[in-house]
Structure formats: structure tokens, C-alpha cells
Amino acid sequence: MPGKIVKIYNDFNLNVRAKIIITLVSLFFLISTPEGHYYIFLLYFILSILIAIAFKANFPLLMKRTFLIFLFPLFISIFIPFTSRGNALFRLNINFINITITDNGITVFLTVILKSFISILILSSLVISTSDIELLNGLRKMHVPAILVTIIFVMYRYLFLIKEELYTGQLAIKSRIFQKSYRTFNKKLAFLSGNLLIKSLDRAENVYKSMESRGFDGNFYSIEKNSSTKKLNWSLTSCFVLITLSIKTIEFLKILA
């Protein structure tokens, strides 16, 4: 019996549209959850694990990427407990520095952290289990305007190009400037910024001409993996949507109680 379940799981593949719908619905209801409902966040975390299993995401890579990206919202939101109003839990007065941690600040901080982590986990499951061309093709099949899909593709592509050009520029500057000072550091940044701007304009024109010469019409075509039948795909999608609605119903019942 376990071997049969594993075989069914290995043969099953969700199509890209089902993955996008499950991701968007889960994120919408997760973000709408009020502050301090930690038991609801636990249910959403369990749901995110189920989504990762259904998407067949590589779990070691998923955990690595999730915790790496999670560092950004963690560092940004670390000041929330010191800036929110509420009942003071801790005060620290050192000359002109007055630090106050409030109960509302702690609640908002934990809510932001939990929402960020679960959202990144769900999005990482989608990105890891699906190629970029498949995602863009899925967006077009869901009738997202071609101009928006093209902008997303160009932004995604340019992230790697800018990173490559930035590294090349830094290497060129280090090989030509030997004296380190505040003045030379500012000159380095100004030179690097101007160089990136000029190269980005040239690269944008070259990319446009190359895409136009290849007959790019705003659509992305890809060969999808052997997905299961439409009926099975939409049945599983409906199950995930119903689970999300059930979590939201539990949340409303707890609020009204």
C-alpha cells in the first residue's frame, strides 16, 4: 500500500495554472489574517508544507532559499517593536537614547515575521518546482496582459545581467585604483553607477533588437511536463482552496466567539 501511494505521487504532476491559483489564493488569505492569530498562522504553515509536497519542491533547496530570502524581511522588521505604540514592556534610557518595547510592537513584529516566512515558503515552492518560462506561459494562459508578462521577464533577466556587470565593474575599478580613501570610494561608486546606466541602455537596445529579430510577440511557449488529467488537477486545486476557506472560516468564528 505505501508503495502504491508513492507511485501515484511520482506519477502525479500539477500544471502551472493550478500552481499559480493555489499560490495566489493562499497568499491572499494569509496576508488578510489579523495580528496575533498565531494558531491560524500554524494552520497556514501546515498548508504551506502540503503545498510544497504537492508542487514536488526539492526540500533541501527549498529550506536553503527560504531562510536566505527570509533574512531581508527579518532585518527590515527588527525595528518594529521599538516604534509601535502600546503598553511598555521594557524601557531603556541612556543619556539621549530612549528605547521602549511595547506589547503591540511585539505582536506586530511576530505577525510580520510569520507572514513573511510562510509567504516566502509558498512562493519558493512555486519557483523551485517550475521553470521561469513555464511560469510566464502559465500567466499568459490565465490571460494576464502580454505587456505585464514581458516586463516581468525582462526584470527577471536583467537581475542577473546587472549582477554580472556590477561584478565586472568592481573588478575593473579594483585593478586600477590602489589608494583607498573616502574620496576615491565615492568616485568609484559614481563611476560604477554611470557605467551601469550606459551599459543598461546599450544592452536594452540590443535585447530589444534580438527579441524582435526572433519574432517575439509577447507570448512564451514551453513544453509542459506530463501533467495529470485536467479533472485531477482542478480537483486538487479545489481541495487546497477549500482548505484555505476553512482556515479563514475558523478565524472568523474565533473572532466572533
pLDDT score for 173:
65
pLDDT score for 202:
75
pLDDT score for 142:
79
| SS3 of the chain | CHHHHHHHHHHCCCCHHHHHHHHHHHHHHHHCCCCCCHHHHHHHHHHHHHHHHHHCCCHHHHHHHHHHHHHHHHHHHCCHHHHCCCCEEEEEEECCEEEEEEHHHHHHHHHHHHHHHHHHHHHHHHHHHCCHHHHHHHHHHCCCCHHHHHHHHHHHHHHHHHHHHHHHHHHHHHHHCCCCCHHHHHHHHHHHHHHHHHHHHHHHHHHHHHHHHCCCCCCCCCCCCCCCCHHHHHHHHHHHHHHHHHHHHHHHHHHHC
pLDDT of 2-60, one tens digit each? 555 555 555 567 788 888 889 999 999 999 888 878 889 999 999 999 999 888 888 88
Low-confidence ranges of the chain (pLDDT < 70): 1-12, 86, 88-92, 94-98, 162, 165-166, 169-170, 172-189, 192, 217-229, 256-257
Q: Where are the domains of the chain?
A: 1-131+226-257, 145-221
pLDDT score for 47:
92
Predicted TM-score (pTM) of this structure: 0.74
pLDDT score for 118:
94
pLDDT score for 221:
62
pLDDT score for 27:
92
pLDDT score for 122:
93
